[in-house]
């Protein structure tokens, strides 16, 4: 590879060189016009449109005045301009556009903008370079980066949580080489980031599907985001808190649907379980060992010669019976579906694709062929809605068998060649506006996800589909969970998975996880066990490993590791009611399930670059051991008092503690003065939620609201009101703990009719009142629903 020689450092590759092309700024403001949605600022070289998408979301779009750049529908944005309008206040030097939540101040000579939040703080601000375009079509925005600004989001990136000092590129790429801190880009492109400054935050979503770059590195006081082409169109989220920014971003690009409960259980995968016999034996072993399991994955070996929508008749002679029998045992089957369609004139899918003009083609009319698993393959053009529909329909092969989950891989799209992807000159149909692969590459996976999710939803007739994807773009959360691709069985990759999943969560992708145990390379019992402890609390919980590596099912490394792994899988199921409520919040408000401490404590500087701890919701901290042969670590606990979930010991917050955790232990803390709802442990999702317990961690001064959500876990009936949502106010005083149901809504009748209440840390002098009635057994009571 050229990258491995001195060619990599030839003079013209030096990024510090001055740009080759001339860049133009809008220049001086000449005129302001009212448009359908907002205002147009007409300047010397460009015009800039400013619209409100909500009172706290400002859209900025620059167009050169000499030539019109065709706007590209990224499919990420699902909202349109709001009916709320800016109020315009003109004065000599500046124009102010005001909404109820923010202000945009526009300097006239030259045109420059800055956004001020509700609290009067200057947030997003052009520097003197400002917004620019080149005659070759590149665009960029240069903004001020304040000394205390911290950068988060940017989707799936390696390295640490906070990204100041990094320059990151968005270009969906299949990276099998080890993911190092500087390995960029990876599979997903989420051109969005959040800037947090002493607790106040704003966000920027750059709605551009070309290769984009986010540079927080070159200049220590400024940052730049730029694209190879397309429009300089971006949305500014006014915050003012980090949570507000996530809510604003996911308002614009959508939230995840509530997953089926089975998709939140433990999943076992391997590249590949190669035959029906092997799959059955695997499931039997889980059953025999009493290890809960909700899904098994079929990797590429299930197909007939890697032809999608087929089964190998020798390896999988009766997929219908297999799927049926496994479902009887409470286990779903999730097959892999890659986009590449084998070039084979006797293969129905290929024939249909050619005859129906459904594959990606060059402008001149030839089909593009690339090498992937099946050899020379054609690729469906998902930018065309006929193709999305056709591809979706093909999933009847699976849904007719009773399959409810699909795993989309290789959808960057990955191709086995030097560029790792499709020829950039391919001309996509793009629903009537043909555009090059160079301009649409980053949304290929998103559109495959849309095709798959929407059709599976139809075919499952009221049941929720589960889609897992490797590639995606902003908005991918509407269709699929994301796994972070080909990591390795390295402790470093366990460490890196935590900030990576947290940043995905800050970027709208609440449902994400890494290959537990590591994909490539050989894992070992200790690494797998520590990784399982983390995985039990990551939103997506799947163990997956590569061909040729040691098998890494829970029992592969001896009884001691097996017992510990089993106990943590069981813990996941016990925590499912708590997690499910948090997934509902992700579906409604976009808030992540797994959160960096920064999100809950944005004023605490010690949380800003905390990579080895995470939160579940707003009151639980997990501080896993991430190193071999280590059984103690420093754990930073923010303000408040924190209760060790396992031992009950109370730790003072606002400082670090040395915490011991042998291989069978995970440091897990609940904030005192809050509560969690846990279930019992069953063999699969369905059986783990029959009896629920509200665990209250009492102190003498706190108020908290418990949020609980439940529904049937598999249908869309909740959209018709068949769910249960409960809010319980909790108030701790010197002499009492009060629990009052202040909200109970929905028609769902759960399998339990009460919450058992257990109050931890109750003082002699304190009595517990549930809806006003004193409990009979001091710290134990019932809260009937």
Q: Which residues form the interface with ligand MIG (CB under 6 A)?
A: 271, 299-300, 336, 409-410, 470, 485-486, 519, 544
CA 292, CA 277: separation in Å to the nearest integer?
20
Closest Cα partner for 459 from 391, 398, 527, 530?
398
According to DSSP, the residues that pair with 739 across neighbouring strands are 730, 770
Give the closest residue to 50 by CA, choosing from 95, 14, 117, 11. Answer: 95
To ligand MIG, the closest distance from the beta carbon of 274 in angstroms equals 12
Minimum CB separation of residue 552 from ligand MIG in Å reads 13
Whose tokens are 């209440």? That residue is: 757
Cβ atoms of 297 and 407 within 8 Å: the answer is: yes
- Please state whether beta strands 375-378 and 369-372 pair in parallel, antiparallel, or not at all (unpaired): antiparallel
**Which is closer to ligand MIG, CB of 497 or CB of 688?**
497
Report the alpha-carbon distance of residue 288 to residue 610 in Å, rounded: 40
As a whole number of angstroms, the distance between CA 738 and CA 16 comes to 63
Question: Which of the following is catalytic: 156, 188, 276, 412?
Answer: 412
Nearer to ligand MIG, 300 or 326 (CB): 300
> How many secondary structure helices (H) and strands (E) does the chain include?
13, 51
Nearest to ligand MIG of 410, 685 (CB atom): 410
Nearest to 370 by CA among 444, 481, 313: 444
The residue number whose beta carbon is nearest to ligand MIG equals 271
Whole-number Å distance between alpha carbons of 581 and 618? 12
Instruction: Return d(Cα 380, Cα 354) in angstroms, integer.
Output: 10
> Taking the complex as a whole, how short is the minimal distance between the CB of residue 711 and ligand MIG, in angstroms?
31
Comparison of 175 and 570: residue with beta carbon closer to ligand MIG: 175
**Beta carbon nearer to ligand MIG, 282 or 659:** 282
Q: How far is the CB of 568 from ligand MIG (least distance, A)?
A: 22
Query: What is the nearest approach in angstroms of ligand MIG to the Cβ of residue 299?
Result: 5
Could you confirm whether 409 is annotated as catalytic?
A: yes
Q: How far is the CB of 550 from ligand MIG (least distance, A)?
A: 15
Q: Sign (positive/negative) of CA torsion 242, 247, 249, 255? A: positive
Q: How far is the CB of 373 from ligand MIG (least distance, A)?
A: 7
Q: ω into residue 712 within 30 of 0, thus cis?
A: no
Catalytic residue among 37, 188, 486, 710: 486
412 a catalytic residue: yes
Integer Rg of the chain from CA: 27
Measured in whole angstroms, the distance separating CA 117 from the mean position of its chain's CA atoms is 27
Distance CA 590, CA 249 (A): 8
Q: By C-beta, is 411 or 474 nearer to ligand MIG?
A: 411
CB of 547 to ligand MIG, least distance (A): 7
Q: Is 344 a catalytic residue?
A: no
Q: Which CB, 255 or 421, lies closer to ligand MIG?
A: 421
Nearer to ligand MIG, 133 or 541 (CB): 541
CB 114 within 8 A of CB 120: no
- How far apart are CB 187 and ligand MIG at their closest, in Å? 8
272 or 693: CB nearest ligand MIG:
272
Neighbours of 212 (CB within 10 A): 24
The active-site residue, picked from 51, 409, 450, 711, is 409
Nearest to 58 by CA among 318, 270, 239: 239
Pairing of strands 94-98, 102-108: antiparallel
Where does 428-544 have alpha helices with state H?
A: 437-440, 444-459, 491-506, 525-535
User: How far apart are the C-alpha atoms of 140 and 223, rounded to whole Å?
Assistant: 10
| CA–CA distance, 196 with 239 (Å, rounded to integer) | 10
Known catalytic residues are: 409, 412, 486
């Amino acid at each position: 590879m050229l990258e491995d020689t001195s060619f990599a450092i030839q003079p013209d590759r030096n990024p510090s060189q001055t740009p080759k092309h001339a860049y133009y700024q809008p220049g001086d403001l000449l005129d302001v016009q009212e448009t359908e949605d907002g205002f147009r600022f007409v300047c010397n070289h460009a015009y800039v449109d400013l619209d409100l998408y909500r009172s706290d979301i400002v859209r900025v779009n620059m167009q050169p005045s000499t030539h019109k750049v065709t706007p590209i529908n990224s499919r990420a944005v699902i909202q349109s301009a709001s009916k709320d309008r800016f109020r315009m206040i003109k004065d000599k030097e500046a124009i102010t556009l005001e909404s109820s939540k923010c202000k945009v101040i526009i300097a006239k000579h030259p045109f420059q903008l800055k956004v001020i939040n509700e609290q009067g703080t200057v947030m997003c601000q052009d520097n003197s370079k400002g917004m620019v375009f080149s005659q070759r079509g590149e665009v960029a925005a240069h903004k001020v980066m304040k000394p205390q600004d911290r950068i988060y989001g940017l989707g799936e990136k390696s390295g640490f949580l906070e990204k100041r000092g990094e320059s990151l590129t968005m270009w969906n790429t299949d990276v099998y080489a080890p993911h190092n801190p500087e390995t960029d880009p990876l599979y997903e492109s989420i051109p969005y980031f959040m800037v947090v400054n002493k607790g106040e935050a704003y966000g920027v979503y750059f709605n551009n599907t070309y290769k984009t770059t986010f540079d927080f590195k070159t200049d220590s006081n400024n940052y730049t985001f730029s694209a190879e082409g397309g429009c300089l169109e971006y949305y500014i989220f006014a915050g003012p808190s980090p949570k507000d920014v996530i809510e604003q971003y996911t308002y614009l690009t959508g939230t995840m649907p509530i997953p089926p409960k089975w998709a939140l259980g433990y999943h076992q995968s391997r590249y590949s379980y190669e035959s029906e016999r092997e799959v059955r034996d695997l499931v039997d072993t889980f059953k025999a060992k009493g290890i809960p399991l909700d899904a098994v994955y079929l990797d590429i070996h299930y197909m007939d010669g890697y032809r999608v929508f087929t089964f190998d008749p020798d390896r999988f002679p009766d997929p219908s019976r297999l799927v049926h029998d496994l479902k009887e045992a409470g286990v779903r089957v999730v097959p892999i579906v890659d986009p590449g369609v084998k070039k084979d004139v006797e293969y129905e899918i290929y024939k249909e694709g050619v005859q129906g003009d459904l594959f990606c083609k060059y402008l001149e009319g030839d089909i593009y062929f690339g090498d992937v698993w099946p050899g020379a393959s054609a690729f469906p053009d998902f930018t065309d809605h006929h193709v999305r529909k056709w591809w979706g329909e093909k999933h009847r092969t699976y849904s007719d068998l009773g399959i409810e989950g699909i795993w989309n891989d290789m959808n960057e799209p990955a191709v086995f060649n030097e560029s790792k992807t499709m020829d950039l000159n391919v001309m996509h149909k793009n629903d009537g506006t043909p555009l090059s692969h160079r301009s649409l590459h980053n949304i290929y996976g998103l559109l495959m996800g849309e095709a798959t999710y929407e059709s599976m939803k139809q075919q499952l007739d009221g049941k929720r589909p589960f889609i897992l994807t490797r590639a995606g773009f902003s908005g991918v959360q509407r269709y699929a969970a994301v796994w972070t691709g080909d990591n390795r069985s390295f402790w470093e990759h366990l460490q890196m998975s935590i900030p990576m999943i947290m940043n995905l969560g800050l970027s709208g992708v609440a449902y994400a996880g890494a290959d537990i145990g590591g994909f490539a390379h050989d894992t070992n019992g200790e690494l797998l066990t520590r990784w399982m402890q983390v995985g039990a609390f990551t939103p997506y919980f799947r163990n997956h490993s590569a061909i040729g590596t040691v098998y890494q099912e829970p029992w592969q490394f001896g009884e001691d590791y097996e017992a510990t792994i089993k106990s943590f899988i069981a813990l996941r199921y016990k925590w499912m009611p708590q997690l499910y409520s948090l997934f509902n919040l992700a579906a409604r408000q976009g808030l992540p399930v797994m959160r960096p401490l920064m999100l809950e404590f944005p004023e605490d500087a010690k949380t800003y670059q905390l990579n080895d701890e995470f939160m579940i919701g707003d009151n639980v901290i997990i501080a896993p051991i991430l190193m071999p042969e280590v059984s103690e670590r420093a754990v930073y606990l923010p303000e408040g008092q924190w209760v060790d979930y396992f031992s009950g010991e109370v730790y003072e917050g606002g400082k670090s503690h040395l915490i011991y955790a042998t291989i069978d232990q995970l440091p897990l803390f609940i904030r005192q003065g809050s509560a969690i709802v846990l279930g019992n442990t069953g063999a699969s999702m369905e059986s783990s939620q029959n009896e629920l317990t509200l665990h209250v961690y009492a102190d003498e001064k706190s108020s908290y609201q418990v949020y609980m959500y439940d529904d049937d876990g598999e249908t869309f009936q909740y959209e018709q009101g068949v769910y249960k949502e409960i809010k319980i106010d909790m108030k701790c005083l010197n002499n009492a703990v009060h629990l009052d149901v202040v909200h109970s809504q929905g028609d769902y009748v759960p399998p339990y009719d009460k919450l058992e209440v257990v109050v931890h840390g109750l003082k002699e002098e304190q009595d517990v009142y549930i809806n006003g009635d004193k409990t009979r057994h001091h710290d134990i009571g019932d809260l009937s629903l």
